[in-house]
Each structure stands twice: as C-alpha cells, then as structure tokens.
Amino acid sequence: MNTFLIIVNIAILLALIVGLYMMQKKHVKFSKRVFTGLGLGILFGLVLNLVYGTTDEVTSGTIDWFNIVGSGYVKLLQMVVMPLVFISIVGAFTKVSLSKNLGKISIYGIGILLVTTGIAAAIGIAATLGFGLDGIELQAGDAENAQNEALVERVATVESMTIPQQVLSFIPNNPFADLAGTRSTSTIAVVIFAAFIGIAFLGIKRKQPEHAELFAKIVDSLYAITMRIVSLVLRLTPYGVLALMTKMVATSDFDAIVNLGKFVVASYVALIAMFIVHLIMISLAKLSPATYLKKGLPALSFAFTSRSSAGTLPLNIKTQTDGFGVSQAVANFVGPFSLTIGQNGCAGIYPAMLAVMVAPAAGINPLDPGFIFTLILVVIISSFGVAGVGGGATFASLIVLSVLNLPVAIVGLLISVEPLIDMGRTALNVSGSMTSGILTGKITGEFDQKVYNEKAGLDEVVEA
C-alpha cells in the first residue's frame, strides 16, 4: 500500500513538472514560473504533511524520490560553483578596467559586506531584546539532545583553534584539494588562490603583454563556457524550486514551530528589517528599490528554497551583471567573496541573537554597551570563512559563542526550527551580496544604470 501511495505522489509531482514545462512552451516569463513552482510546492508539501505526517514511511519514501529533482538541481548548481568561483576571480583581474580599480573594488566590496554584517548583528540584538527572548526558557527534546551530542566534537574543534589558526586555515596549501571542496574553508582558499593568479597576470601584463593577452583570451573562453553551463542549469530552476519547497513543507514539524514561534517571529522580524536596510542603501544610491526587488526575486527565491548561498552563486552573478548592470569585474569579485565574508543572515543576525539569549546564563547583562559593542565586533571578525552552504550559521554561532565564553548548547536547542529560519537567512545573505555588488559598482564607476533601469531582466537572459 505504501508503495502505491508513493507512486501516486510521484505521479502528482510529474504532473506539476509537466504543467511548469507547458508554461515554458507558452513563453511564460521565467520569474513567473519560478513563483508558480514555489506556490505549488508549498501547497503540495502542505497536503503531504497533513495527510501522512512528517515521520510516515510514505512521506520519507516520497521525499526520497523527490530529491532526484530538488537535491539533484542543487547538486548541479554546486557542481559549477567551484569552477565559477575560480574563473570569476581570475576573470575579474583580466578585465582592463579592473586593473585600475582593483584597490577600490576590494575595499568597497569587502567593506560593504562587513559593515552590513555589523548592522545585521545590531538588528539581531535589538530583535532579541525587543521580543524578550531568553535561552533559559528553551527545553531540549530527543532531536535537540541528539543535535547537542553531534555538536560536541565540532565545538571542541572550534574552541581548540585560536584566531591565528583560523586565519591560517584560509590559506590554501593544496589548491586542487580545495577545488574539490575538501575543507569547510575551501571556498575562501580557492578565492585566495585565484587572486594570486590574477595578481600574477597583472605582473605578466606589464612585462610580457603578449602572454597576458593569450591568457586573458583563454580565461574569457572558459568564463563564457562556464556561464553557458550556468544558463543551462538555471533553466531547471522552476522544477528544482517545486521539489525543494515540497520537501521543506512536507517535513516541517509545525508543532515545534509553534512552540518556538516567538523565536521564529523575532528572527524573521530581524531578517525583514535588515532587508529593508538593503533597500534603503539602494535608494541612497539613487536607484529604484522596486527594480531591485523585481530583478532580484528569482535569485532570492532560489536562495530561500535551497538554503545554499553557494548554490545560488551562479544566479547571483548573472543577476548582478545581466539584471542590474554591475560589471563582470565587480560581480565576479564580490559574488565569490560574499560566500565566505559578511553573510548578513547566517554570520550576522543569527549568532548575535543566540549570544544575547544565553548571555544572562553566563552572568552577563545583555544590555551592557560594552558587551553589545564586543559582540558586534566579534560577529564581524567571525564572519570570515563561514561556508555558504547549509550549516554555515551553526559554524558561525559556535565561533561567536566560543570566543565570548558563552554556552553553546543553545545551537542544538533550535534544531527543530533551523530549516525554516535558515531559508530567510540564506535569502538575506544573497541580498547582501547583490547590494554590495551594486553599491561597489556604482561607487567605482563599474555600473551601467541603463541596464538596471531596463524592463528586461533575467527572463530573457536565462531563455537565451
């Protein structure tokens, strides 16, 4: 009987996929198909949750098959992430205009990411205090206890590493291993390795311009091929979003969400407040926030459903260049760096909220200005090297809590609502990256405002 029900569920998913494909054949816009997949996923997931529950064999068996579409899509994007990070950074250095603006782009791009992370931490602190959240009130169930046991080894690893040791972990000693993603800091290691190649290119360009020209052509060709692969994968976005959203809703523990509802609400209030800050920053740059929302929503929607900043990188860069008019030099620099530096949601808001919640248990007054200033500073510094994949917020929180000598058990106590909150955090990470790219491009002159104001967006680009 279970097998029959699973087959029925698979048939329904296939029917929905066919429906999305028919929309594509009728030339319905890409963004509309993405949101249709999102809505259908929510409804289908809710039906599965209400009919079978989260732990039933039918649900687990169904989701196992659905993962071929959802997780398969994410894997395809992750497949291209490391090559894209590497070729994007190297390609940024081969752009003639970048060699003149390299210092400015580096300072403003990374600086905006760090400043916005500090603002995000302050907003997280304010939301926690405003909602009166207290870590002592949380109680651990079986899932939470299991998570805390799993965190013991990870905590030991984090606590045993000094700040200099953490900095050393960013430096690549085997770039080929890092390209394979063998370490949690592999992404930033690849960025550093690619930057060295770029700097070497600039030196060769001055002394042996003919070799530099040949290398630049090779890099441009590789970049074009990589972005073509990205376009091919992005066409699958509506189907991937459908399966991912169905899985998320079907497996969500609504009882746990209700029990921790206050924390969930406070988290999303903070996330929305920080997103509004991004829109204000866009407005101060004399650009339309409405245009930013319209063109950025496909990337933000995928980040929301996939919970992977790294997986969203291809769509992030394509949105910046083809949707917003940010130069390839800036987008290729800021995009990859944002995976490991200054993630507003995972490395900013979340660790700050947890630190304030457990501060009273450690005998610290969370309203003390000294504690707040120290917390914000630690959050900014700790945002370096946070992996842009699921679990990055946990790692960032462990670092912040360990540095401040605060209890880390609270990280495991929130495991039941972690996926729900992580969706919003990831979307905010990507929004912070795109905001930094736009502002850096505007400041350095690496920005085409005509492209930003054009009605055409990613719909035409993805279908090209």
Tokens 């903070």 locate to 270
In a domain, 306, yes or no: yes
Domain contains 157: yes
pLDDT in tens, 413-457: 676 677 788 889 999 999 999 999 999 999 998 899 999 988 655
Pick out the chain residues at pLDDT < 50.
Answer: 140-151, 388
Q: Look at the chain and report how many structural domains it folds into.
A: 1
Q: What is the pLDDT of residue 252?
A: 77
Q: What pLDDT shows up at residue 292?
A: 95
Q: What is the pLDDT of residue 239?
A: 92
| Average predicted confidence (pLDDT) for the chain | 83
Q: What DSSP string runs through 352-374?
A: HHHHHHHTGGGT--TT-HHHHHH
Q: Report yes or no on 338 lying in a domain.
A: yes
Residue 13 lies in a domain: no
Instruction: Please tell me the total number of residues recorded for the chain in this structure.
Output: 464
Q: Are 8 and 238 in contact (CB under 8 A)?
A: no
Q: For residue 286, what are the domain limits? A: 89-237+250-463
Q: What share of the chain is helix, strand, coil (3-state, %, to 5)?
A: 80, 0, 20
Confidence at residue 148, expressed as pLDDT on a 0 to 100 scale: 47
Each residue's pLDDT tens digit, 138-172: 554 444 444 444 445 555 555 556 667 767 777 88
pLDDT of res. 145 = 47
Give the position of tokens 């870590």. 135
Q: What is the pTM of this model?
A: 0.79
Residue 64 falls inside a structural domain: no
Contact status, residue 450 vs residue 325, Cβ threshold 8 Å: yes
pLDDT computed for residue 82 by the predictor: 84
In a domain, 242, yes or no: no
CATH code of residue 307:
1.10.3860.10
**In a domain? residue 130:** yes
What is the predicted pLDDT for the residue at 337? 82
| In-domain check, residue 369 | yes
